[in-house]
Structure 1
């Protein structure tokens, strides 16, 4: 198709998935610099990407329920887009999309669609399996006649965020950031195992910095880890913002984390990620650019809980079972730490 006058992108959450939309934004802007782009995004997620140049943002506050949907529809009242890229299959997002007027309504293929997704779209991305989430999102431009051929983020980080990060620790030794908590509790590793790895890093001459958001769950996890550490790390849990977190990623040498938003944020600035994967497949949802430093126990989890190898279960299956992360031993993580620093 010729360059559309306007495109609306709908991907409201979560943090990691929102980072995967950014390369698609750059693909569209490079091909069609005159096309007006509007992104319907979550309230928290906008704090990370809401200053991307050349994009109009409409905030969806999912915590506001129906009022949040009405606010989005009111903000877009009177607008009709040449294309809507409906990149979220959850029922709430499908309902939200009904109030967005567009000629081309692009959604997922049949295998990845659910929650009445097929009723709110009239075109689909190519049916593929074995893709990383970023590649799936990138393929939303294909029904429009484009192809995402390179991946670029360039998420803005304000000078004041860099200045704050610079003040948190001196540049006298390499830094291991530890972001221990996922929004999915069953993806979390045991506090005593984090503490053991952090003590190992300290003994190897690294500065260890514990990070996380202000939620009670993240504070509780941080407290549990701190109580078990022999060498007390710098604790910045609850003290940053998303932009300050990005600035810390620019200063560190390695991030230890389960499958979580910070994993993907760190990847956007090129920080090495020691990801902990058992409940989720790193090939699908690990750090996109470089998964060499991840611990991958996904196949072991599939064999334990489903009785068959990961290649024999549907692509994208989550194995969020009690105890699944215990398949990752301290020695597994130390081995990847040593490989990364070598």
Structure 2
């Protein structure tokens, strides 16, 4: 069966008429980033550096409704197209609209090798397709003729470097890997008012996030409360601000109550990701599981302590800031990370 799938994929996803890749002929690019908030933030240097190297190129980004707000005001993107995961009819309608754009280069950054996703890529009809080299069904994307350039995603370096390598001959030189966010000031009112109310009482702010991307990457209420209590006792002149995703305020309040410390407090409710970014911008230290909060903190070069499960993400998605510490769980749950080692790592960060 695997043999049949391999040959069927390699036959159907071939490209009979291929032209040599000439960077000078690339006038319009589509970047596929219709996934999560953190993935979009990590990709912002790609948008900036492409536009700086090729100022006349038209850059379109396929975004999801989840991460669209990250680049809504991005000056490096000429158009954003919403493409969520939907029905076959919905996907074909989006693809038809994108196909009419006649892209010279399409960059896929997804590590999915599902037959449906690969067929969607072919239907987009770009002149050139670049992306990751993924192994499945006894073959790799590099063996699919529709791809012009594929690259391995090494586990020992930040994934952003591989995103740039996937551009092949279109890769800019002298790359600046800084993340960006755009128009945060327009959403900063609540954060500035919140911080202003704390300035007379505290020397600084620690932003504490317990929520991860899934259950095993989320701190339990008791563990989160205990860590907040330790932080509050260790740094009594700092406000420990517990942030939370929309709709989870009750749980965040339980973490604050469980800490039983006056300098542990609940953040204001953020209705927009850039309201959260505005708060993170005002903090001195960010403590968080491996999620978008770490990437937001990296935008502002904050000190970051990140909790990671032992899956390799600590190599692909480590914080892109000057001062950070990674707490790596010995298991697939961040709740198994030693709390005393965490406090020691925070002490190191606070001393820098």
The one of 36, 58, 79 equivalent to 2:101 is: 79
Instruction: Structure 2: give runs of 5+ residues left out of the alignment.
Output: 1-21
Q: Does residue 1:21 correspond to 2:37, yes or no?
A: no
Cα distance change on mapping 1:120 and 1:40 into 2, 3 Å: farther
Mapping for residues 180-191 of structure 1, pairs under 5 Å: 180-191=210-221
Residues 208 and 241, structure 2, Cα contact 8 Å, conserved in 1: yes
Cα distance change on mapping 1:147 and 1:94 into 2, 3 Å: farther
TM-score relative to the length of structure 2: 0.81
Aligned to 2:149: 124
Q: CA deviation at 1:41?
A: 0.9
Aligned to 1:197: 227
Distance 2:243 2:139 in 1: 35
Cα distance change on mapping 1:263 and 1:158 into 2, 3 Å: closer
Aligned to 2:7: none
TM-score relative to the length of structure 1: 0.83
Cα distance change on mapping 1:245 and 1:135 into 2, 3 Å: same
Aligned to 1:341: 350
The one of 238, 244, 247 equivalent to 1:206 is: 238
Aligned to 1:315: none
State how many pairs are aligned. 316
Cα distance change on mapping 1:120 and 1:8 into 2, 3 Å: farther
Larger Rg: 2
Mapping for residues 1-342 of structure 1, pairs under 5 Å: 1-3=22-24, 4-55=26-77, 56-62=79-85, 64-90=86-112, 91=114, 93-111=117-135, 117=141, 119=144, 121-127=146-152, 129=154, 130-147=156-173, 149-170=175-196, 171-172=199-200, 173-203=203-233, 204=235, 205-215=237-247, 218-219=248-249, 221-231=251-261, 233-236=264-267, 238-281=269-312, 282-290=314-322, 292-297=324-329, 300-301=330-331, 320=332, 324-342=333-351
Cα distance change on mapping 1:121 and 1:287 into 2, 3 Å: farther
Residues 97 and 120, structure 1, Cα contact 8 Å, conserved in 2: no
Instruction: Structure 1: give runs of 5+ residues left out of the alignment.
Output: 302-319
Cα distance change on mapping 1:239 and 1:19 into 2, 3 Å: closer
Distance 1:294 1:113 in 2: 35
> Which range moved further: 67-76 or 180-189?
67-76
Q: CA deviation at 1:49?
A: 1.7
Aligned to 1:304: none
Q: CA deviation at 1:262?
A: 1.3
